[in-house]
Structure 1
Amino acid sequence: MNRLLGAACALPPALAFAAAFALSSPLPAQEAEAEATPAAPASTFGQPDPSLVTGGHYKADPHHTLVEWSVDHLGFTPYFGLFSDISGTLDLDPKRPEQARIAMTIPVTSITVASADLKAHLMKPPASEGGKPDFFGPKPEDARFVSTLVRITGDQQAEMTGNLTLNGITKPVTLQVLFHGAGTVPPQMGGGEGLGFDATGTLKRSDFGLDFGIPMVSDQVELKIAAAFMKDAAKAAP
């Protein structure tokens, strides 16, 4: 084969191209083998198709549910981190999506940031006994979001308002929610029915007593959420 390729390179450009094309073309036997090989089946488990959603009681998948937060740092760059290990429930009737109810628990201690020094600062105890920590302190309570209103705003889109409890303070927060997909999870990955959503929103951290560093670090926090749920077959929706 190497000798044939070397010979092809020594030919004039037009002939060299024809020789290279001939060498790269499959032989009849190779074509027959390719035709006999079945194409890979299309994905059937996660599809952006609302008709695949079935009503019932769902539990949040803590391994694939994430809350990304982002703030502006000194007007130079955004800085973002994640909350993980999130648990919760979703009760849903696809015929009445506006009646969907969700309750989520977000462990503040699960916060992930790129800087070890920043992580230490976020969990740093107050400077004096009985004082206020700069951010969450060493033993922060879990944050919690409980929906209070769902309004359908478009094709596979909704606006969800709920009460967010963070740092011991409860305030309403509104999220823009987009249906991402639903279907059956492959048996090798546990099986069952799953569905997921994307959501975005904003909040002011000062509303929750987290005002350290404002305005050098923005008061406004951008939220980007990936929420995955698995149907609890043992429990019917209320």
Structure 2
Amino acid sequence: MYKKLILAAAVAGFATAASAESITYTMDPAHTQVVAQWNHFGFSNPTIHFGQVDGTVTYDPENVEASSVQVTIPLSGMDSGVEAFNEHLRTADFFDIAQHPEVTFRSTSVKALGADRMRVTGDLTMHGITRPVDLAVTVNGVGTHAMTGQPAAGFDAEATILRSDFGLDMYAPTVSDEIKLRITTEATVPAPEGE
């Protein structure tokens, strides 16, 4: 009898584990922002917004290590708030978007760091150069979206990179080489067509 109870518990546990699935969410560009900040000659800390973001997040809170992220950012939407500076950033002095029109990030590993915290490591490709980057990620929430009724998840992330690692070293180090990245995203499972 005791062995039967153990076997039944094992089977139930396996069934529960098997039923848990990762969900792939699509980032909502209206509620996703990627912002870069740097220090300018020690006097100010300006930012640029990278505009519309296209990406997916696959996430399972029961199996965080199986999660993944893929993001593409067209640089045509990059905005500092000053059009003349935007144009300079698009030239070969900086991003050279005629040759390198987008930035991509592809995760290579995800590690749980406790309640609602993760470290996402991945390959950041910018200006034609790929480097590994670590993102410190906070899970803001996972559940059903109040407006759409669809599964949804929200995340914030931060990272620090050196722009010289990507061949973007004009005026460094008087204009800081170190760039702080801040990301926030709301991602949902799109409703089936016709709904």
TM-score of the two chains, using structure 2 as the length reference:
0.82
1:135 aligns with 2:94: yes
What is the match of residue 118 of structure 2? 158
Letter in 1 for 2:169: D
Aligned counterparts of 1:57 and 1:232: Cα–Cα separation in 2: 10
Deviation at 1:233, TM superposition (A): 6.1
User: Aligned runs of 1:15-34 on 2, under 5 Å?
Assistant: none
What is the match of residue 212 of structure 1? 170
From the two aligned structures, give the one with the greater strand fraction.
2
Is contact 1:102-1:146 (8 Å) kept?
yes
- What do residues 61-114 of structure 1 show as CA deviations (whole Å, max 9, x unaligned)? 111111110010001111111112101112222210111011111111111112
1:115 aligns with 2:82: yes
Is contact 1:157-1:178 (8 Å) kept?
yes
Q: Secondary structure at the match of 1:120?
A: helix
Deviation at 1:206, TM superposition (A): 0.6
Deviation at 1:213, TM superposition (A): 1.1
What is the RMSD of the two structures over their aligned residues, measured on CA atoms? 1.6
Q: Secondary structure at the match of 1:172?
A: strand
- Rg: which structure is higher? 1
User: Please, which runs of 5 or more residues in structure 1 have no aligned partner?
Assistant: 1-53, 125-132
Query: Paired residue for 1:229, among 187, 191, 195?
Result: 187
Aligned counterparts of 2:33 and 2:186: Cα–Cα separation in 1: 9
What is the match of residue 181 of structure 1? 141
User: Please, which runs of 5 or more residues in structure 2 have no aligned partner?
Assistant: 1-20
What is the match of residue 49 of structure 2? 82
Deviation at 1:138, TM superposition (A): 4.7
Query: Paired residue for 2:30, among 55, 58, 63?
Result: 63
Is contact 1:56-1:232 (8 Å) kept?
no
